[in-house]
Structure 1
């Protein structure tokens, strides 16, 4: 029976570990971080300064603990053009995770005002599909800090199932080197200990995965996107938007999306004027940025291109119009600095891996946002889950 090492416990790692363990394959998952109470996940933010701040989390379950629970299909057509049809996997996951919009009881006044304002100016803003259990969810605005009621799906759900199926999960064990023998994978190194494996699947994220690939002599990390975003916000007194479910609606523009979003960075600016978090209404502008960044061994570089800045400006202008229509004082409108939410593209399909997510080294696979060929411009979690489910099927069928 094949021995598989999975490096990383986020969306890709947890899913492929679960799929393989369920098929009876020996799986050992190595995670750099440690386990933590979900409600304390915000303590594990491990952001990177790369010209824009890149948001990521290091802990068991990875960044899935601090997502907003969004479950949109991304990159589906582009992946299909590369020979990867995820329709079945998307459907399986949407059914399994009960993906869909939250009930009306979970839409706060601020989000409803934004949706109504968008409609008034002729824009269609839909309810965001979520993998959130509405029976457990009591809106509190803490989605991006770690759900205190475990109402939101996270990788911990799949990690627990993988463990029940026989997978071994080892925390505080960063993979630091890929080991090969005669052009084939033979294992990995963590804490000077070699873990032997017939198959290695890198799911360490778009920053660490290319660095690991380079230890095996592969070229990776030369293209980086980050789904650059800003939050535009202003004053609407006593709206209490900060306690609402984050990103509960979605407008799809040309190259960007808008979604209701509260940011503490805006709150810190408003305090100087005597206003507080309860008085802020905001919209996130997230763009499909260009793959203009790169990951080096000791630093990450990602600056906004002129095209990126143009999309941010266009989206921010539209966000300001919607917020003003919703009742925000236009003179109070401000924007956060640009940040990056979803680093990816550093081991892209067709460049570093093939359509089965395998590198040129036999038995070495990648399954995280690194493999996405371009920026999704929207939360990619469901797409990564689908890629991981497909990879689990492929390995179970061809290597067991």
Structure 2
């Protein structure tokens, strides 16, 4: 875990994203896919677009993971809903209308964003650097609640390995500030270091199948230039279209202002020059349900080969995105597909293989609860699914493990007579 950066002057800026991003935002797979992995309290929810989606039906149908009640509870608890029409963004609404006119069912996307929380709502592409106006929910709020309830938070602590004794977890070991060894003993451990961090800890602890295979919801942004104002000043991903038959999701988005030309270098030398049209550029994000392939090594090397099926889905989605952008008023000659990137590392410690339905490993009282548990790529925003899994796990622990521990602590009634 990194630091809590929320009160730093650079939180929510390009400088901040470089400071709290793994490898300063330059983390790449062996194949060249960029993965943004913030190392900080609250994790990736600091930089996500605040988007929410219910888990796919196959999670319950194929893997018997029923979290529907927890999903609805979270939606009500955090007031997750689409933004009001006036905040969807004009360019985003043009994309939605163009898509609908072509026969694609676009609709507003649920958001972890409540404009009323902000003194001055100020959302745009910069949302992906960290929310400075305060409208976006992040997992830091759960951290704050836990600390207020009496939990101890140790920041800048990196867990390296698990303590396992007689096939039962005994705690964790690691270093603080990369140099001070620490050990925390515990009868129950829940790993939640993410799709990359969790398998590394498990590999160091003797779980050789951890990190064998990886999905990342392979993503590409399709850009086009219009006569009108683009998507840069609008909240990202306010509207979306999901094609479960062909395995992808589309939504409206654009890279933050300074990130745009840097990312475009990966596409080719001439593409950073399209930055001059940034304010009139409209972006459509492609997020595909990619196949599990490659994996993560104990040295931290990440591999996610793009399979033939992945390429088919990307091309299908690119054709549809181009049609929609042109229909929305973009110059056909300006439309291009940006470089591939990995947005949601997952499926590295899978349910059904390394975990049971309660998210427990073969080691007693060792659980995992993050995107690494997904048995397949979601191809949709994962945060709501992860929260629901965490609620399910919490209920399981309270009803079983901690109930037994509480019963063991209750003193026996004194004998009469």
Query: Could you tell me how far apart the structure 1 residues matched to 2:275 and 2:212 are?
Result: 46
Structure 1 unaligned blocks of 5 or more: 1-31
Query: Could you tell me how far apart the structure 2 residues matched to 1:241 and 1:270 are?
Result: 18
Moved more, 97-106 or 229-238: 229-238
Residue equivalent to 1:380: 382
Residue equivalent to 1:181: 165
Residue equivalent to 1:306: 308
Is structure 2 residue 131 aligned with structure 1 residue 147? yes
SS at 2:169 equivalent? strand
Residue equivalent to 2:285: 284
2:247 and 2:379 in contact (8 A); partners too:
yes
Query: Could you tell me how far apart the structure 2 residues matched to 1:91 and 1:107 are?
Result: 23
Give TM-score, length-normalised by structure 1. 0.89
Q: In 2 relative to 1, CA 274–153 (structure 1 residues): closer, same or farther, beyond 3 Å?
A: closer
Residue equivalent to 1:223: 213
Q: CA deviation at 1:386?
A: 0.3
SS at 2:312 equivalent? helix
Q: CA deviation at 1:75?
A: 3.2
Moved more, 380-389 or 275-284: 275-284
Residue equivalent to 1:45: 21
For the pair shown, which has the larger CA radius of gyration, 1 or 2?
A: 2
2:38 and 2:44 in contact (8 A); partners too:
yes
Residue equivalent to 1:200: 189
Query: Could you tell me how far apart the structure 2 residues matched to 1:120 and 1:186 are?
Result: 58
Query: Could you tell me how far apart the structure 1 residues matched to 2:36 and 2:379 are?
Result: 15
User: Per-residue displacement from partner, 1:303-329 (whole Å, max 9, x unpaired)?
Assistant: 101110111111011100000000100
1:214 and 1:220 in contact (8 A); partners too:
yes
Structure 2 unaligned blocks of 5 or more: 176-180, 265-269, 403-417
SS at 1:186 equivalent? strand
Q: In 2 relative to 1, CA 270–338 (structure 1 residues): closer, same or farther, beyond 3 Å?
A: closer
Highest RCO, 1 vs 2 (Cα 8 Å, sep ≥ 6): 1
Query: Could you tell me how far apart the structure 2 residues matched to 1:311 and 1:271 are?
Result: 26
Residue equivalent to 1:68: 49
Query: Could you tell me how far apart the structure 1 residues matched to 2:337 and 2:21 are?
Result: 22
Q: CA deviation at 1:76?
A: 4.2
Query: Could you tell me how far apart the structure 2 residues matched to 1:83 and 1:237 are?
Result: 49
Say which of 250, 266, 274 aligns to 1:258. 250
Q: CA deviation at 1:84?
A: 1.9
Query: Could you tell me how far apart the structure 2 residues matched to 1:397 and 1:142 are?
Result: 42
User: Per-residue displacement from partner, 1:281-318 (whole Å, max 9, x unpaired)?
Assistant: 11001100000120111111111011101111110111
Query: Could you tell me how far apart the structure 1 residues matched to 2:311 and 2:50 are?
Result: 27
Q: CA deviation at 1:244?
A: 0.3
Query: Could you tell me how far apart the structure 2 residues matched to 1:270 and 1:36 are?
Result: 33
Q: CA deviation at 1:131?
A: 1.3
Say which of 88, 106, 114 aligns to 1:133. 114
2:125 and 2:253 in contact (8 A); partners too:
no
Residue equivalent to 1:297: 298
Residue equivalent to 2:93: 112
Q: CA deviation at 1:81?
A: 3.4
Residue equivalent to 1:19: none
1:80 and 1:86 in contact (8 A); partners too:
no
User: Per-residue displacement from partner, 1:103-136 (whole Å, max 9, x unpaired)?
Assistant: 0120211101101111111211010011110222
SS at 2:309 equivalent? helix
1:139 and 1:243 in contact (8 A); partners too:
yes
Residue equivalent to 1:11: none
Residue equivalent to 1:14: none
Q: What is the count of residue pairs matched by the alignment?
A: 369
Is structure 2 residue 3 aligned with structure 1 residue 34? yes
1:75 and 1:383 in contact (8 A); partners too:
no
SS at 1:310 equivalent? helix
1:294 and 1:300 in contact (8 A); partners too:
yes
